[in-house]
């Protein structure tokens, strides 16, 4: 049914929402105050025709905007867009009954994302193409430019397409190239290759290695297993240089990483010992070790191995103790955290419910919580507040530009 809708707000997934008696309608790529005419099916607007535009609407900068599913908010002016991200944190906390000071959202510039997940498929003419999934679809949008990505990643797409060709050997394969720009060049880890039929053949592996060599990749790996490495991919964490594990986690935007790390370090100044939980390969560990000795823990054995390898690359650090530990199944108890008067957590999107439940009994006076999901953060913030902490403040960080994703760093005090 065709309806005329007035958009009243933007929802948590980035779609405009029209409130009506029959229930809300979600209209993609729209803004508060706009009037649209659209086909409405099951609460979603399709074939949207913009009748009255918001004064906050701006021209998108990508030729793929509207088709590519990567940037859902590229049409929104910076100030209201950043304020909306701040509001997402406020709303999540209010649902848990937690109030605090929320700082303005930290912005990041375009052209700074050093990590991309590029999907590979065969086009209608049979050639390999790389791109992102279309909005609300499995269809692939071939990408030739990307205003959020580091320009060197975009420049490498033709060479990466030739690498991807070898991984399309099986018709059921749906390869994704996880591409990272490191200090020593491009690191590529490929997932989504059909395994039930025997995985990638030796011939395809050789073709992939040849293409990787021609593209001057630092490393090419398949689901974390290295196929070829001409140079060890290296990243800098504070004063340390760390070998990045194949398929390992790394913050997507260096400027966002700096914003979060600097706030964490400032919050724990004066601590005598710091616990860095969900530490990965040491994003926060090494900067924290400029302040006090650090106990670091993470479930990734490869991450802990990389962290330990980085210890010898920096001078003047306080001692670091690192261990492999699944903090969901075996969270650190107050006894394990004895002597730690500050704790930093950077969990995955699922949050850290099990670990935060242990912190109320610990002696730490400061907890810094870094999150990529305001909803699970707010849930865990409620646990910390109930455990005797006060949420001193939150800083949202716009790491994923023009998307609905919100990152944040929060400081709790006894």
Q: Is 376 a residue whose pLDDT tops 90?
A: yes
Nearest residue to 365 (alpha-carbon basis) of 406, 331, 303, 414: 414
Other CB atoms within 10 A of residue 309 CB = 17
- Nearest to 391, CA basis, from 94, 86, 88, 83: 94
**Terminal Cα distance for the chain, rounded:** 55
Determine phi and psi for 313, rounding to 5 degrees: -95, -5
Residue 194's pLDDT band (cuts 50, 70, 90): confident
Give the pLDDT confidence of 264-305 residue by residue, as tens digits: 999 999 999 999 999 999 999 999 999 999 999 999 999 999
Which pLDDT score, from 0 to 100, does residue 405 have? Answer: 96
Residue 207 pLDDT class (50, 70, 90 cuts): very high
Q: Is the four-CA dihedral 81, 87, 91, 96 of positive or negative sign?
A: positive
Give helix then strand counts, H and E, for the chain. 9, 22
For 270-281, letters b (16+ CB in 10 Å) and e give ebebbbbbbbbb
Instruction: Compute the average pLDDT of residues 132-150.
Output: 90
Mean of pLDDT over the chain? 95
What is the enclosing helix (H) or strand (E) of 229? Answer: strand 225-229
Instruction: Convert the pLDDT of each residue in 79-133 to its tens digit.
Output: 999 999 999 999 999 999 999 999 999 999 999 999 999 999 998 888 999 999 9
What would the two tokens of residue 330 be? Answer: 């075996």
Q: How confident is the model at residue 371 (pLDDT cuts 50, 70, 90)?
A: very high
pLDDT category of residue 170 using cuts at 50, 70 and 90? confident
Q: How much of the chain exceeds pLDDT 90, in percent?
A: 90
Residues serving a catalytic function are 372
Name the pLDDT band for 333 (thresholds 50, 70, 90). Answer: very high
Digit-coded pLDDT (tens) for 31-88: 999 999 999 999 999 889 999 999 999 999 999 998 898 899 999 999 999 999 999 9
> Domains, the chain, ranges and CATH?
2-57 (2.40.50.140), 82-108+253-413 (3.40.50.150), 115-234 (2.40.50.1070)
Residue 137's pLDDT is 78
Are residues 135 and 28 in contact, defined by beta-carbon separation less than 8 angstroms? yes
Stretch 128-152: mean pLDDT? 91
pLDDT at 195: 80
Instruction: Provide the residue count of the chain.
Output: 414
Distance in angstroms (rounded) separating the CA atoms of residues 173 and 169: 7
Contacts (Cβ under 8 Å, ≥6 apart) of 160: 118, 130, 177, 179, 186, 188, 215
- Which tokens hold the place of 396? 């949202």
Pairing label, strands 240-243, 234-237: antiparallel
Model's pTM, two decimal places?
0.95
R_g over Cα of the chain: 23
pLDDT tens string 250-263: 999 999 999 999 99
């Amino acid at each position: 049914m065709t309806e005329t809708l007035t958009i009243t707000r933007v929802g948590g997934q980035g779609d405009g929402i029209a409130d009506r008696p029959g229930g809300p309608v979600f209209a993609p790529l729209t803004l508060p105050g706009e009037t649209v005419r659209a086909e409405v099916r099951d609460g979603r607007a399709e074939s949207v025709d913009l009748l009255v535009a918001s004064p906050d609407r701006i021209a998108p900068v990508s030729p793929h905007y509207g088709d590519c599913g990567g940037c859902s908010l590229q049409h929104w002016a910076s100030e209201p867009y950043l304020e909306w991200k701040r509001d997402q944190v406020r709303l999540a906390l209010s649902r848990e009954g937690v109030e605090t000071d929320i700082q303005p959202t930290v912005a990041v510039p375009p052209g700074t994302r050093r990590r991309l997940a590029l999907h590979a498929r065969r086009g209608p003419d049979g050639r390999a193409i790389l791109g992102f999934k279309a909005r609300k679809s499995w269809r692939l949008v071939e990408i030739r430019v990307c205003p959020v990505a580091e320009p060197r990643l975009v420049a490498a797409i033709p060479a990466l397409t030739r690498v991807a060709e070898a991984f399309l050997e099986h018709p059921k394969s749906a390869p994704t190239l996880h591409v990272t720009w490191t200090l020593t060049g491009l690191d590529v880890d490929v997932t989504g290759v059909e395994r039930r039929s025997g995985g990638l053949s030796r011939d395809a592996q050789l073709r992939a290695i040849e293409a990787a060599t021609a593209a001057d990749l630092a490393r090419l790996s398949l689901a974390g297993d290295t196929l070829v490495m001409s140079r060890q991919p290296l990243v800098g964490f504070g004063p340390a240089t760390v070998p990045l594990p194949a398929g390992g986690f790394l913050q997507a935007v260096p400027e966002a990483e700096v914003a979060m790390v600097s706030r964490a370090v400032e919050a724990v100044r004066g601590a005598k010992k710091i616990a860095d939980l969900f530490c990965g390969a040491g994003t926060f560990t090494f900067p924290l070790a400029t302040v006090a000795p650090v106990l670091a823990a993470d479930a990734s054995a490869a991450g802990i191995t990389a962290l330990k390898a980085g210890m010898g690359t920096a001078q003047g650090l306080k001692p670091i103790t690192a261990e492999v530990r699944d903090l969901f199944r075996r969270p650190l108890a107050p006894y394990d955290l004895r002597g730690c008067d500050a704790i930093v957590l950077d969990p995955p999107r699922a949050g850290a419910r099990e670990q935060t439940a242990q912190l109320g009994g610990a002696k730490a006076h400061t907890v810094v919580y870094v999150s990529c999901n305001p909803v699970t953060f707010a849930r865990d913030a409620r646990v910390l507040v109930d455990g005797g902490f006060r949420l001193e403040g939150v800083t949202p960080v716009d790491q994923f530009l023009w998307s609905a994703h919100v990152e944040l760093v929060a400081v709790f005090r006894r």
